[in-house]
Structure 1
Amino acid sequence: MPVSTARAHASLRATCVVYVCLGFGTSAWLSRLPDVRDNLGLTPATIGTMLLIASLGSLLTLPTSGPIVTTIGARASGRIGVAIWAMGIGCAGVGALNVSILLATAGLVMIAAGNGLWGATMNIEAGLVQAAVRRTVVPVIQAMYAVGMLGGALLGALAAQLGLPLGAHLFGLAVLELIACGSAVGFYLTKEEVAALAPVQDSGEGEKASSEKPKGLTRIAWREKQTVLIALMVMSAGLMEGAPNDWLNLSMVDGYGYSTAAASAAFAFFLLMMTIVRFASPRLEARLGSPRLLRITFSAAVVGLLLVAFAPHHGLALAGIALWGIGSALGFPLGISALSVDPVMTPARVSVLSTVNYGAALIGPPLLGLIADHVGYHRALAFVAVPVLLAIVLAGQVPDRRGIKRTDLVFGD
């Protein structure tokens, strides 16, 4: 039986809530990173090393997210991911309060593992929801992540300004996320509803996908040239979207003399610009087409990163943050949207994208940490612009589907 309109929209709303939850949790946690750094007495290189070790957690969950979701369903996968994340937040909080770098690092590994499974599951669900509602909604869904991050950044700034104890902030956050996200995923599409989505005729090996087991679907996706190239584009642009999470607050504190609260507000400004562009993306895409829109926004990001790195005054740095936020808005959502044509192959293709994109998360933080040790946090951000140039070149791999009905789409068009 086809998925009803009511169920499709209920799942759409639930997916939006989960995106808000992950964005809020991530931002609220990272807004206190300067306090964690000060408690533990960390150098930029040490932070980079801790983030590199933490990325091993994502290495365990991201490559397997597609088969996991296909096997146990998005509901169970999402709940497991948020539970691991919440335990990691608690562990990192205990480590920071007890000045234990080892315990804090263990918490970061759990945060990364939970975030990897939680995030990959909701990205797959977003693609499936798009197939269920039969219109392009992934960029708007992704905007809800930025809304959540904006709320978390503002909360972090307020908490820092009011002197809220770090422990109360982190432990309260973990409990809140468990309750809110654990409830929302109960409205995800079930495995049976996903199976009922009429698959669109695919090109190449996708036509035999429905008869394959989960691991077989993933192997098919890895052999699709366009899937891999789109994933590489997202990875190239991914560092500029992820870098603010780890480094923008620290850059504004150490590079421009901001307080922790003011730096959190600057991060919130970045998220606001990203959110505006994501909400506006359907109209922008309809007018410009995906490839051209991506090239314009990526180019804006390059200019913005260079301004943040080298601006002689913090006012110009804020202008750079605005351009950076605009440029970071659409790489990931338009990449997922392009790979979400066939419901049967969506989990496998989005899993490939998430795994390849993980390269940015694996390489970026420790590399920027080492560079920051020599040139400072804000100067190091100039190096983030380099892979964005590759993303500009690969933007042409995202199809321009203006004027094509969602039900008529074929992967590769």
Structure 2
Amino acid sequence: MNTTISLNRINRNVFVQNLLTFFLNRQALAVGLVFASDSLLFGSWVAHIPHIKERLQLSDADLGMTLFAMPIGLLIMNPLTGWIIAKLGETRACFWSAVGLTLAICIPINAPNTAVMAVGLFLVGLCSALINVAMNTAATNVERSQNIAIMSSCHGMWSLGGLLGSGIAGAVIALHISPSVHMAIMAGLVLLITFLLQPVLNTIPSSSRTESGEKAGSSFVLPNLDLLIMIFIGLAVAMGEGAALDWSAVYLHETLGASSQIAALGFGAFSLTMTSLRFVGDAILPKIGAKRWLQLGGLVGASGLLLAIFVPYPSVALVGFALLGAGCSLGAPILYSASMRVEGIPPAAGLATFATFSFIGFLAGPPVIGFVAESYGLSYGLGLVAAMLFLSAALSRLVKFF
């Protein structure tokens, strides 16, 4: 009994210490706020997708095709991210991509037609690709220079931003505030935060060259088997995140008949569990083990989606999206770090290659879901993601962590 109490106290102390290390470290918190700002914009945007879909009278396939403009922007930018980051440095790349994102995100919400919406989403994809690699590399630089673990907490900040964004959007919808006004205010807020963070970000050491002499700008490498397995797992996890981001509100509103206010909570439920687990991830992963968590996470995430599909009530679906968030929570922090430790592949190239493919899953997954939904129904589109998560759980047994 006393031993159990003592262990519980130790575990709580470990959690608290990890959180204090993150939130009291100026560089770590600054990088975390970049993650949060990025997701705050996405969380705000996705809650208005049903409104845009209805205003422009788009079918599921039309919406899916238009959303595909974002991953096209990603694919075009990714070969250039290494070169840009090598020229600017990680922190300046974070700054300029964040500025570009705040401007680009205002285009699709005001689009008068699908063509303009696609152009806006394409620009969002360009900026998202750059900030994704830049902020993860900056987080790694802080970890290396200060010998601390912050990657999971940084991704927790990303989830927190999405949670706040979707929650605020739900209130905005309930108050009948114009989506255009809402997005303009959120973009202005993020722009202000970006300028305030820059002095602190500039103090983070740059990895212009690693210990081995490899240029930090290495953008891509042909994946070996270990990295390929990580990429597939990352694709599945990213598709789970993308499904919650772009389709949870549509599924709750159109398929299950929930009100717009309740539908906006779908991504919020997902983000709540994801955020909570990511903030304790740096403490619990050494105890549970990364491989075991990837197996468990795939099963939990898939089960959550199946619950939302086979028990078609809004309240149950919210629980399902919460389980999806729990299952996907630590996949990205684990795999982003692991991609830099793949045997035979330079760390920066491993990270950039993994980030490229996993973000493709995040951005291209929702359009794929839309194509499946157009032919068979949205439940089948979400079921495809559940199947991928089950398969990722099985493949996690094969992952090697060096």
The two structures have a TM-score, normalised by structure 2, of 0.86
> Which of 127, 130, 133 lines up with 1:120 in the alignment?
133
* Gap change, CA 1:363 and 1:18, over 3 Å in 2: closer
Is 1:156 equivalent to 2:150 in the alignment? no
- Gap change, CA 1:312 and 1:152, over 3 Å in 2: closer
Q: Distance in 1 between matches of 2:290 and 2:204?
A: 31
Q: Which deviates further from its counterpart, 160-169 or 111-120? A: 111-120
Instruction: Name the counterpart of 2:7.
Output: none
Equivalent-residue separation in structure 2 for 1:340 and 1:189 (angstroms): 23
Structure 1 gaps, min length 5: 200-208, 400-411
Match of 1:286 in 2: 286
Q: 1:40 and 1:340, CA in 2 relative to 1: closer, same or farther beyond 3 A?
A: same
Match of 2:65 among 49, 63, 71: 49
Q: Distance in 1 between matches of 2:209 and 2:81?
A: 21
What is the root-mean-square deviation in Å for CA atoms of aligned residues?
2.6
Q: Which deviates further from its counterpart, 78-87 or 256-265?
A: 78-87
Residue of structure 1 in register with 2:110 after alignment = 94
Shift of 1:353: 1.0
SS at match of 1:62: helix
Cα deviations by residue, 1:216-275 (Å, 9 ceiling, x for unpaired) = x445x5455534432332123211122111100000001211111111123211110111
Deviation of residue 113 (structure 1)? 1.2
Cα distance change, pair 158–222 in 1 and its aligned pair in 2 (3 A): same
Alpha-carbon distance between aligned partners in 2 of 1:12 and 1:341, rounded to the nearest angstrom: 21
Distance apart, 1:286 and its partner CA: 2.4
State the one-letter code of the partner of 1:384.
Answer: V
Q: Which amino acid aligns with 1:21?
A: S
Q: 1:204-224, CA deviations, whole angstroms, 9 ceiling, x for partnerless residues?
A: xxxxx41x4456x445x5455
- Residue in structure 1 matching 2:160, options 143, 147, 156: 147
Structure 1 match to 2:236? 236
Q: 1: distance between equivalents of 2:68 and 2:368?
A: 9
2: distance between equivalents of 1:101 and 1:245?
A: 20
CA distance in 1, matches of 2:43, 2:294: 25
Tell me the amino acid that sits aligned with residue 159 of structure 1: V
Counterpart-to-counterpart distance in 2, 1:346 and 1:361: 22
| AA partner of residue 127 (structure 1) | T
Q: CA deviation at 1:331?
A: 1.1
3-state SS in 2 of match to 1:48:
helix
Counterpart Cα distance in 1 of 2:99 and 2:33? 16
What displacement does 1:398 show? Answer: 4.9
Alignment partners' CA distance in 2, 1:154 and 1:25: 12
CA distance 1:129–1:287, change in 2 (3 Å) = same
Q: Can you list the C-alpha shifts for 1:272-299, whole angstroms capped at 9, x where unaligned?
A: 0111111222343122211011111110
Structure 1 position 302 matched with structure 2 position 295: no
* Code of the aligned partner of 1:265: L
Aligned pair partner of 1:76 in 67, 80, 92: 92
Match of residue 135 from structure 1: 148
**Contact (CA 8 Å) 1:309, 1:380: kept in 2 or not?**
no
Partner of 1:276: 276
Structure 2 counterpart SS, 1:383:
helix
**Paired residues of 1:51 and 1:108 also in contact (CA < 8 A):** yes
Q: Percent identity?
A: 23
Are 1:249 and 2:241 matched, yes or no?
no
Aligned to 1:61: 77
Aligned residues: 379
User: How far 1:305 moved relative to its partner?
Assistant: 1.0
Q: CA–CA distance in 2 between the matches of 1:135 and 1:127?
A: 10
With over 3 angstroms needed to count, the CA separation of the structure-2 counterparts of 1:237 and 1:127, relative to structure 1, is same
For residues 41-95 of structure 1, what are the alpha-carbon distances to aligned partners after superposition, in whole Å with 9 as ceiling and x for unaligned? 1111001000112321111222332332223101221122122222222222331
Partner of 2:375: 374
> Which amino acid in the other structure matches residue 297 of structure 2?
T
**In 1, Cα distance between equivalents of 2:70 and 2:156:** 26
For the 8 Å contact 2:102–2:187, the answer to whether it is kept is: yes
Greater CA drift, 128-137 or 227-236: 227-236
1:19 aligns with 2:32: no
Q: Does the 8 Å contact 2:41/2:105 carry over to 1?
A: no
Cα distance between partner residues in 1 of 2:141 and 2:225: 22
- Structure-2 residue corresponding to 1:386: 387
Structure 2: any 5+ residue segments left out of the alignment?
Answer: 1-20
Once the two structures are superposed, the pairs formed by residues 183-194 of structure 1 within 5 Å of their partners are 183-188=196-201, 193-194=206-207
Structure 1 residues 133 and 189, CA gap change in structure 2 (3 angstroms)? farther
Q: Residue 16 and residue 246 in structure 1: after superposition, are their counterparts in 2 closer, same or farther (change >3 A)? A: same
Secondary structure of the corresponding residue to residue 264 of structure 2: helix
Structure 2 partner of 1:407: none
Q: Deviations over 1:141-177 (max 9, x none)?
A: 1101111111001100000000111221122222222
Moved more, 165-174 or 345-354: 345-354
Deviation sequence 1:175-216 (CA, Å, 0-9, x none): 22222123324422568643598x4xxxxxxxxx41x4456x
Superposition deviation, residue 397 in structure 1: 5.3
Q: Aligned pair in 2 of structure 1 residues 191, 136: CA closer, same or farther (>3 Å)?
A: closer
CA distance in 1: counterparts of 2:274 and 2:205, whole angstroms: 35
Structure 2 distance, partners of 1:359, 1:336, is: 14
CA deviation profile, 1:14-38 (whole Å, cap 9, x unmatched): 1011111111111011111111112
Letter in 2 for 1:355: T
Paired residues of 1:291 and 1:396 also in contact (CA < 8 A): yes
Asked whether the equivalents of residues 244 and 266 of structure 2 are also in contact (C-alpha less than 8 Å), the reply is: no
Change (3 A) 1:214 1:325: closer
> 1:117-137 deviations in whole A, cap 9, x for unaligned?
122211111222221221322
Q: Which amino acid in 2 is paired with 1:370?
A: F
Aligned partner letter, 2:230: I
CA distance in 2, matches of 1:79, 1:218: 19
